[in-house]
Structure 1
Amino acid sequence: MQKVVYNKQPDMNYDSMVMIIRKEDKRYFSHSFIYHGRDGKYLQFLYKDPLPEGDFINGWNYLDDHSYRIVMVPEPSQEVAVEDFIAAYQPTSQIDAIEVIEIKGFDEINDLLHDPNIEKQEVVIFGRR
């Protein structure tokens, strides 16, 4: 597992990013991926309902199938997607550095979210190239 620290300048050239934020006792997330649409290179799905407890992929699939509160945002870059994610869920936050954990597949996220060092973080981002 390679870790990269996001400091608002680095190359965030990931094909796909999953961003998770903890608010009180709930987790919210977003998924940004290469789209090449007319309004931006990336498309971000902001899930306004919290992730169900338990397995991450099952929770993501549940929200895809049952949530009516998903916002799609065209993004010019992954850097802007990260900034929009933070602004959407934590608008008063002064986060200057965020750890990006590089993954090969989304199935890795569930196990990583149970890592005590990751689980307690306010914001965690997974990037897939």
Structure 2
Amino acid sequence: MASGAERTVSSAFVFCSFRLTIYVQHHTARCRIGSIDISIKKAFTARAFDITTKDLATQSQPGRQFFGIHASNDGRVMIFAGGVPLKRDGKVVGAVGVSGGSGEQDHAVAMAGAEAF
């Protein structure tokens, strides 16, 4: 079975800087419009908290330490898998956000982008 990074999925991709400036934003031809906004919010979340959105999603379930975090930051926090911090020399320098596939696919594509970075 192919990984999310190897499948053809209509997705939106965003790379942002340490200060959350969007440097690259791309979406495939059949990408859902909502996926564009979600990818931006995933990148924001990964950078704002320096954690993958997949890991944050686990920690934000009822009874966990970050329950309710998705309601913070004027609704910009996204707790779906697909946001990954970008690191250089062990320091977070930005983030990537991907949306359009399943959470597993989005995370795999975002991780591939982070590894390529």
- Tell me which interval the TM-score lies in, with the shorter structure as reference length: 0.3 to 0.5
For normalisation by structure 1, the TM-score amounts to: 0.31
